[in-house]
Amino acid sequence: MILVSSAVFWMGADRVVIVPCGQDLDAIINADDPMIGTRFQLEGPCTYTVDTMVELNEGDEIAGPQGTFIERPPRSTRNPQSPS
């Protein structure tokens, strides 16, 4: 644990939050205390949901394996069985 804390100190973050696969990434990051620099360590390779803008605060960083971005169009709210 001391080795991990030292590595985080040199990278600028005050703490590390491990983000398991399949989590809502923007909800985790945006709910974080803005007064604490946090390194969000992504597990991977896997998929994370992001449905809102991710806002990093001063001292925050995201780390993990390189990934790809897949943008999907918004879902339709129209009932497919109702007349158009």
Q: Does position 8 have pLDDT exceeding 50, yes or no?
A: no
Q: How far apart are CA 44 and CA 26, in angstroms?
A: 16
Is the pLDDT assigned to residue 54 strictly greater than 50?
A: yes
Higher pLDDT, 2 or 20: 20
Mean pLDDT, to the nearest integer, of 43-66?
A: 87
Average pLDDT of the residues in 51-58: 89
Tokens of 33: 């205390």
pTM: 0.68
| 17-53 confidence digits (pLDDT tens) | 999 998 999 999 999 999 999 999 998 788 888 888 8
d(CA 28, CA 17): 9
15-19, strands of its sheet edge to edge: 15-19, 38-42, 61-63
